[in-house]
Copies of this chain bind each other. A is one copy, B any other.
Amino acid sequence: MNKQALVENIKKKKSFLCVGLDTDIKKIPQYLLKDEDPIFAFNKAIIDATAPYCIAYKPNLAFYDSMGVKGLEAFEHTVAYLRENYPDQFIIADAKRGDIGNTSELYARCFFEHTKVDAVTVAPYMGEDSVKPFLNYKEGWVILLALTSNTGSLDFQMFEDKAGTRLFEKVLDTSKKWATDERMMYVVGATQGKMFRDIRKHVPTHFLLVPGVGAQGGSLAEVVKYGMTDECGLIVNSSRGIIYAANDETFADVAAEKAKLVQAKMAQSLSEKGIID
């Protein structure tokens, strides 16, 4: 999906919500375990219930990898189900991969040729040749880690050179030369609040993927205030706050309610910024 289609979709659905499919077999309603593929059954129900309120889905690969072959199958079924039934949804493989060039190429092949997602999250530590292979796919986006939502983000991402440039800023400045804002986005945690102002000095027009609203305590209002662009420029993710809002037969309905509440706030923000009427 290209940037224009993404922006149009945000306007149409009055939402910039991404639902994180962090599906853990230990946390889904127990009655689903009778299903042949409980993880996919859970994802399908969540997708069908929340699709009207979001514009993207983000399965985090750790949840699928940790279940071995069955998990991988559930991941592939989930992406295929989205592709077939919800072609307007932007699909992000949250994999945080990155390796030397010839190896990153294989990860890229995996996500863009085999599973066919729209975007992959990539870790920047190994530099340009670890990221470039993901950019060789015309339709594929790289979402590079910049300033993450966790406490450990302070350990290295704030490391500062003598000119006062911090590592996450160096990552933004260097990597934005590798591709346009039609091919790259950045991960910026919602927990970083006012830091979005600094981020926007470096990447005024790029889309940002924003985890950390909800369970991790980030504020949607601050993200919007400091991070939103004329084209929205934000994809805000919520995982646990939506998909695990209930743990019985009502889980999908409750997830839909939660997603709808977030969407309503997002519609208001988009309206206040004049992006939609």
Shortest CB–CB separation between residue A76 and chain B, in angstroms? Answer: 7
Residues in chain B near residue A127, CB distance under 8 A: 150-157
Check if B107 sits within 8 Å of A66, measured CB to CB.
yes
Chain A 135-166, CB-CB to B under 8 Å as 1, else 0, gives 00000000001001111111111011110000
Shortest CB–CB separation between residue A126 and chain B, in angstroms? Answer: 5
Task: Determine whether A171 belongs to the interface, using a CB cutoff of 8 Å to chain B.
Answer: yes
Task: Determine whether A73 belongs to the interface, using a CB cutoff of 8 Å to chain B.
Answer: yes
Q: Please, how many angstroms separate the alpha-carbon atoms of A123 and B110 in the complex?
A: 20
* A152 and B170 contact, Cβ closer than 8 Å, known pairs A69-B69, A103-B62, A114-B66: no
Q: Which of A53-111 contact B (CB under 8 A)?
A: 60, 62-63, 65-66, 68-69, 72-73, 76, 94, 96-101, 103-104, 106-107, 109-110
* A159 and B152 contact, Cβ closer than 8 Å, known pairs A60-B99, A60-B103: no
Q: Please tell me how many copies of the chain the complex holds.
A: 2
User: 7 more A-B contacts (CB under 8 A) besides A68-B76, A159-B159?
Assistant: A65-B110, A66-B106, A66-B114, A100-B150, A100-B211, A126-B152, A127-B154
Q: Please, how many angstroms separate the alpha-carbon atoms of A66 and B128 in the complex?
A: 21
Check if B103 sits within 8 Å of A130, measured CB to CB.
no
Residues in chain B near residue A107, CB distance under 8 A: 62, 65-66
Residues in chain B near residue A162, CB distance under 8 A: 160-162
Residues in chain B near residue A63, CB distance under 8 A: 103, 106
Most buried by B among A96, A109, A115, A131: A96
Check if B110 sits within 8 Å of A98, measured CB to CB.
no
Among B72, B106, B145, B216, point to the contact of A62 (Cβ < 8 A): B106
Q: Please, how many angstroms separate the alpha-carbon atoms of A124 and B155 in the complex?
A: 9
Residues in chain B near residue A159, CB distance under 8 A: 159, 161, 167, 170
Check if A130 sits within 8 Å of B106, measured CB to CB.
no
Task: Determine whether A22 belongs to the interface, using a CB cutoff of 8 Å to chain B.
Answer: yes
Task: Determine whether A182 belongs to the interface, using a CB cutoff of 8 Å to chain B.
Answer: no
Residues in chain B near residue A110, CB distance under 8 A: 62, 65-66, 68
Check if B123 sits within 8 Å of A151, measured CB to CB.
no
Chain A 212-247, CB-CB to B under 8 Å as 1, else 0, gives 000010000000000000000000000000000000
